[in-house]
Amino acid sequence: MVMSDTRNLLDRISAFRQRLDSTPNLIPEALPVDGTGAVVPVVSEVEAFRFTLRRIPGTVGEGATTHYTDRAQRLLTRAKALLDRQRTFTNDPLVAACAADETDPLVCYHRETVGILDSVVRLAQGLPDSAGGQLKLCDGLNGLLGVVQDRLAVQEQLLARRRRDEDRIDKLAGFFTALHCNLPVAMEPVAALAEELLEEARQGRSIRYLSAPVMSASAPGGAQAYAVPARYVAAHALNVAQVVARLVPFDYEWAGRPLAPVVGALVMDCGMLKIPAAVLAKTEPLTADERRAIEAHPRLGAELLLWRFPNLAGPLAAAVATHHERTDGTGYPAGVAGTQIPALGRLLRVADVYAALNEERPHRPASDPRAALTDVLLLAEQSQVDRDFAEYLLHLSFYPVNTVVELTDGRVGVVVANHANRMDPRAPGRPVVAVLTDAEGAILPRAEHLDLSASDRGSIVKAVPLARRRELLGSRYPDLV
């Protein structure tokens, strides 16, 4: 329905001639005429706009008559280029696939951009022959074109990011599928993906938690299908790998060789493809048999890696086999404890728990990032995860960069920086925030930066849930939702 409305705005003009009745002298020259001087009906905005462009020498064909000033010609040519960009965006398979969700921020932002572009087309159709009249309308046309250009850049960047995320999920899902189907497979693509994640961590980019439905076999708009639940497992693995990539610089053992831990995070759940997808999608408690099936996946994954990569996967397989073991010996599948668990297995355990808490699951919503960090630290106190690796999570802060937060006075903002002072117990909870809305939820004309550590008043109440972020910020900051 949404895409249909969008295409109507781009492709059709409803009762255009009737709308001209109230302003009969505004744009008569914009309507095409035949050899007898009769007006040819306009059936499409794009058709009418391109007729307008044909009046610009050199833009469409030869023999056009000049009716426009140089500035008007430049603006109309620019408008045509933006219109073509928007149509390309609209026809992208990923955009079309996302359109089923009318609350999707990309879809909503795109729909508003099309509405503005519709106004641009109508204004372009209304340019009169007189230079003075064109001068007045060109100022407005130039402003609208600037808005459209900025919005197109935002939505194209957001689309590129989504495509990259889906491509990464598909790449890892393809690796898992090949492992289980005994197809030719190599570890090099996984290592290359790990290098990408490490480079993003070095650049200080924030973690983006990815997701795929349990029953997802292919990406939105994608043609390649993978074994279910490979994409669901791959999305979680990528989240764990992002966490690991940000923890290894703080560990003396892994700081100098960070690739191995990130690769381990990417492959540690490869055994989960043996679990029926219906079990992973359950919202009610698991049965004893279902729990046993899940608890077998670390061992199955380790055996699979050793079978397919006998010369590469020794230490890696050991970490995969123990990434659900607990330091107190109550974990699975073997119930080993303490230093019997390899260091990499203990690191993967911490990152796995933290990432899982930040993800929405079929049986529960995602946790607030502060609550997720606090829960892992409590598990460390209870000897269920490694204490040292759990403390490394403090470097991520209670509210990582790009977390949308609500302040005590009701304003909403996004975390843009954290203070790396582990000696100050207040530092993790008092970052620098770019305030985006007032207390009533109205978008501010420009962001106001607030360093909570430098103020004795005000603090963060909580991270804003996804649904509320969409409601507040989707139309202006779709990249934050």
Which of 353, 368, 396 corresponds to the end of one domain?
Answer: 396
- Predicted local distance difference test score (pLDDT) of residue 20: 37
- Predicted local distance difference test score (pLDDT) of residue 131: 84
Q: Around 230, how many Cα atoms within 13 Å sit in the side-chain half-sphere?
A: 23
Q: For residue 234, give the nearest of 195, 201, 273, 280 by alpha carbon.
A: 273
Q: For residue 110, give the nearest of 77, 84, 81, 148 by alpha carbon.
A: 148
Backbone angles phi, psi at 225, to 5 degrees: -110, 145
Say if CB 99 and CB 223 are below 8 A apart: no
- Predicted local distance difference test score (pLDDT) of residue 3: 56
Residues 106 and 245 in one domain: no
- Predicted local distance difference test score (pLDDT) of residue 7: 58
Find the CATH number of the domain harbouring 215.
1.10.3210.10
- 294-319 burial: b if 16+ Cβ within 10 Å, else e: bebbbbbbbebbbebbeeebeebbbb
- Predicted local distance difference test score (pLDDT) of residue 268: 97
3-state DSSP assignment of residue 20: helix
- Predicted local distance difference test score (pLDDT) of residue 334: 95
Assign 3-class secondary structure to 151-189: HHHHHHHHHHHHHHHHHHHHHHHHHHHHHHCCCCCCCHH
In a domain, 412, yes or no: yes
Say if CB 431 and CB 419 are below 8 A apart: yes
In a domain, 411, yes or no: yes
Residues 63 and 117 in one domain: yes
Q: Tell me: the pLDDT tens digits for 253-310? A: 999 999 999 999 999 999 999 999 999 999 999 999 999 999 999 999 999 999 999 9
Give the structural domain span for 476: 404-480
Residue 335 CB partners (closer than 8 Å, separation 6+): 325, 329
- Predicted local distance difference test score (pLDDT) of residue 40: 40
In a domain, 179, yes or no: no
- Predicted local distance difference test score (pLDDT) of residue 454: 86
Q: Look at the block and give the residue holding tokens 């139309």.
A: 475
Number of domains in the chain: 3
Residues 221 and 327 in one domain: yes
User: Distance between CA 145 and CA 466 in Å, rounded?
Assistant: 31
Say if CB 10 and CB 86 are below 8 A apart: yes
DSSP symbol at 24: T
In a domain, 178, yes or no: no
Residues 339 and 290 in one domain: yes
What is the pTM (predicted TM-score) of this model?
0.85
User: Distance between CA 51 and CA 53 in Å, rounded?
Assistant: 5
- Predicted local distance difference test score (pLDDT) of residue 10: 53
User: Distance between CA 414 and CA 434 in Å, rounded?
Assistant: 5
User: Distance between CA 460 and CA 89 in Å, rounded?
Assistant: 38
The bridge status of strand 432-437 relative to strand 460-463 is: unpaired
Residues 228 and 306 in one domain: yes
In a domain, 174, yes or no: no
In a domain, 173, yes or no: no
Q: For residue 473, give the nearest of 212, 158, 13 by alpha carbon.
A: 158
- Predicted local distance difference test score (pLDDT) of residue 212: 96
In a domain, 168, yes or no: no
Q: Look at the block and give the residue holding tokens 């260091």.
A: 343
Rg (CA), the chain: 28
Residues 450 and 433 in one domain: yes
Residues 133 and 195 in one domain: no
Residues of the chain short of pLDDT 50, as ranges, are 2, 12-46, 55-66
Q: Whole-angstrom distance between the N-terminal and C-terminal Cα of the chain?
A: 22
User: Distance between CA 274 and CA 227 in Å, rounded?
Assistant: 10
Which of 396, 420, 443 corresponds to the end of one domain?
Answer: 396
Residues 84 and 114 in one domain: yes
- Predicted local distance difference test score (pLDDT) of residue 373: 96
Residues 202 and 154 in one domain: no
Residues 448 and 410 in one domain: yes
What single-letter amino acid sits at 374? Answer: T
**447 C-beta neighbours (distance < 10 Å), count:** 16
